[in-house]
Amino acid sequence: MRITTLEELLDTLDHLFSDGSDLTRRGGQDPWEQIFSQPGHPLASDLPDACLVAWARLGLLPPGEGLNALDLGCGLGRNARWLARQGYAVTGLDLSPYAVGQARERTPGPDIRYLEGDVLRDPIPGGPFDVVYDSGCFHHLPPHRRLSYLHTLGQVLRPGGWFGLCTFAWGRMGSAKSDLELLRQGQLEGGVGYTLDDLREMFGGLDFVTGSLLSELEPASEPVFQMDFLQAALFRRPE
């Protein structure tokens, strides 16, 4: 095979991570089932990310009534349910059949639409969205697939819409190796750590609103998901 298109190049680079460390790609098994079903695992929480609650308290996110939101890599739906409680019409998307099934069980009624899909490769119905939120998907991407992610974000985020993400913080969690080193070794080491400057550069087509470690946010008036190895950033797409 000769590479003649960008997608062929990306597909070829996918094979470098055939060891199973790329948790954003479908395989014969669902690795997230083992993760989410561990007794007491933090990701089995029902609490919303501390950054979402803080952004809403500070008026950085718009009121949800009449707006729609997309939760990318929604897991068991904890952030999707919080967004729905704020009045958003919510779509939760996850690659894991187990996660989507559990999210539906935890969310009685038709308030949230949960879809099984691949953010990098599958069309996402219901957009464009006023708010797109990603907690823990982006930092599991292999370096070359950030291009696919940015393309998807451009498709699903409405002009003037808000994009928020929560990722591993560089030096606290995730690999600190360069992209070239990760590609050469073909192993993601559980995820990639980023600085806020990294995120501002990667999402340079969006306006930066705010960003910080979750541990630096003011205490919330409600229980929240808050780990000291996580950071969050909020952006807005120009009109």
Q: How many helices (H) and strands (E) does the chain have?
A: 8, 7
Quick one: what percent of the chain has pLDDT higher than 90? 82
How many beta carbons lie within 10 A of that of residue 116, not counting itself? 16
Q: Would the pLDDT of 170 be above 90? A: yes
CA distance 144 to 11: 10
Q: How far apart are the first and last CA of the chain?
A: 42
Q: Over the stretch 83-118, which tens digit does the pLDDT of each residue have?
A: 999 999 999 999 999 999 999 999 877 779 999 999
Compute the half-sphere exposure of residue 208: CA atoms within 13 Å on the CB side of its CA.
14
Nearest Cα residue to 62 out of 83, 93, 90: 83
Q: Over the stretch 7-30, which tens digit does the pLDDT of each residue have?
A: 999 999 999 998 888 888 877 788
When mean pLDDT is compared across 13-22, 121-130, 150-159, the lowest value belongs to: 13-22
Quick one: what percent of the chain has pLDDT higher than 70? 100
CA distance 146 to 2: 23
